[in-house]
Amino acid sequence: MTIEEKYVIDASSLIDLNKFNPIDLYPTPWERIEKLIDTGVLLSPIEVFKEVHRDEMLVQWLKNHKQMFKPITKKQTEIVAQILKKYPSIINVKKENAADPWVIALAAEMSEPQKQSTLIKIKWLVVTEEKKKGLQVKIPLICEDYKIEYLKIFDMFRSRGWKF
């Protein structure tokens, strides 16, 4: 059986990519990401859009690619409630936005068998720059609990065979 990888991206990956490969200086990775967005291979919850607000160039790029941001569904809300019950510290109450549980919830929802209506098996992965640090509550720890694979953005590039 053929397996196609698709991705749900966290704000940390977009922010770090633009920090080290600014959109105006390194257009190639961003153009490739645009193709993933255009083909529905790269998604993100709308909460990620709300979380990115400091870098004007990145904000403008995200506004131009708003189709990647998926609205919150009832199922995602249920998954986030489960996550917050088990891992309440995933959200920093001092922060204005907290997209992390929504990233995991979107990946979990998209991974459900009824969401996959093709003969090709689709494997949803979370793209994040967060690192697993023991039992510290970060995206990788919760992804492992939900049996969702995760990787860094440059590892996503490598898995797709991209060279710049």
pLDDT tens-digit readout, 97-152: 689 999 999 999 999 876 656 678 899 999 999 998 877 789 999 999 999 999 99
Q: Which domain holds residue 116?
A: 3-159
82's CB contacts (< 8 A; 6+ apart) are none
Q: pLDDT category, 45, cuts 50, 70, 90? A: very high
Q: Kind of pairing, strands 69-70 and 42-45?
A: parallel
State the total domains in the chain. Answer: 1
pLDDT tens-digit readout, 27-40: 999 999 999 999 99
Mean pLDDT (whole number) for 5-14:
97
**Cα(121)–Cα(117) distance, integer angstroms:** 9
Question: pTM for the full model?
Answer: 0.93
Do the domain assignments include residue 135? yes
Assess whether pLDDT exceeds 90 at residue 164: no
Q: pLDDT category, 96, cuts 50, 70, 90? A: low
Do the domain assignments include residue 48? yes
Mean pLDDT (whole number) for 48-76:
94
Q: Tokens at residue 62, please?
A: 């995200």
Do the beta carbons of residue 160 and residue 24 sit within 8 Å?
A: no
Mean pLDDT (whole number) for 146-159:
97
Residue 126's nearest CA partner among 42, 30, 2, 29 is 42
Q: Output the average pLDDT for the chain.
A: 92
Q: Tokens at residue 32, please?
A: 């490739």
Do the domain assignments include residue 84? yes
Q: pLDDT category, 55, cuts 50, 70, 90? A: confident
CATH at 135? 3.40.50.1010
Site of tokens 């991974």: 111
Do the domain assignments include residue 112? yes
Do the domain assignments include residue 164? no
Residue 122's nearest CA partner among 1, 17, 6 is 6
Do the domain assignments include residue 78? yes
Do the domain assignments include residue 23? yes
Give the total residue count for the chain: 164
